[in-house]
Amino acid sequence: MLKIVLITGISGSGKSVALRLLEDSGYLCVDNLPVRFLHDFIATTREDGLERVAVAIDVRSPGELEDLPAVITALRASGTEFRVVFLDSNDHTLLQRYSESRRRHPLTDRLATGGKSPSLQECIDTERELLAPLREQEHVIDTSDLTPGQLRAWMRELVQADRSSVVLTFESFAYKRGVPGDADLVFDVRCLPNPHYDRELRPLTGRDDAVAKWLAQFGSVETMIDDIAGFIRRWLPLYMQDTRNYLTVAVGCTGGQHRSVYVTEQLARRFADHSPLLVRHRNQAPVEVP
């Protein structure tokens, strides 16, 4: 069966990294495909017997982005199954990345008036407006504080997930770095006992046995996990009825190292019967799988 991944999102958010990962994974990749060619391209790949295809479409397709949500809806209605991934980053990160790469924003020339070029911030703001309808209906990955290695690992997990059901993702994060923009539900566990103040536990993470045993001794920790799990079990069926393809549950603590990681891991165990299920830790080193 033909597997299609459509990569889109804000310029500078990591689309090139994601596309290269897919190419290395055996996907036929096409960058900057005009929206008007998407129907014909998919039909051709199917006729050629290809099994894995990835396409990148973004703001570089002038005058056509507004048609993309309708094209996606029509393709899905016709029985075409493909995953759409929207990559995003906060403005501070985007400005920093453009400064480091010294690249021009793709909207610079299109927004220039009277011989005057727009600011980078104006380009980013305009791009967000153009892509807003697409962002609201597809799976979003906030790459603001992700390393290229983390993004590659997350993309690898995502494209291997079966799309026959809602992709349920549990994700830990650090409040000191901000709430991730890809979260659908956010739970704050900073009120729980903190292993950070134990010198022996401080360098460890919530995935280490010593930290897990320390947190498990507190009734408040177990109650918090029970409450979050109960909330998700109650409302997940309604999210699934809402034709949603993805649900990301973010759990945050101060540093994203101990409490949020432990709670995220425990929630994943309780929902092990759900497929597909993904577990992510934004502030942990990625595990690269060859």
The answer to whether 3 is a known ligand-binding residue is: no
Nearest to 183 by CA among 163, 165, 168: 168
d(CA 56, CA 30): 6
Amino acid occupying residue 201? L
Q: Is 101 flagged in the annotation as binding?
A: no
Residue 84's DSSP bridge partners are 6
Confirm whether residue 14 is marked as ligand binding: yes
Find out whether 15 is annotated in a ligand binding site. yes
Q: Residue 185 in contact with residue 244, Cβ under 8 Å?
A: no
| 181 annotated among ligand-binding-site residues | no
The reply to whether 13 sits in an annotated binding site is yes
Per-residue HEC secondary structure of 208-243 comes to CHHHHHHHHCCHHHHHHHHHHHHHHHHHHHHHHHCC
Residue 130: is it exposed, middle or buried by C-beta count within 10 angstroms (0-12/13-18/19+)? middle
Task: Map residue 34 onto helix, strand or coil.
Answer: coil
Is 84 annotated among the ligand-binding residues? no
Q: Which residues carry a binding-site annotation for ATP?
A: 9-16
Q: Which residues carry a binding-site annotation?
A: 9-16, 58-61
Q: Which residues carry a binding-site annotation for GTP?
A: 58-61
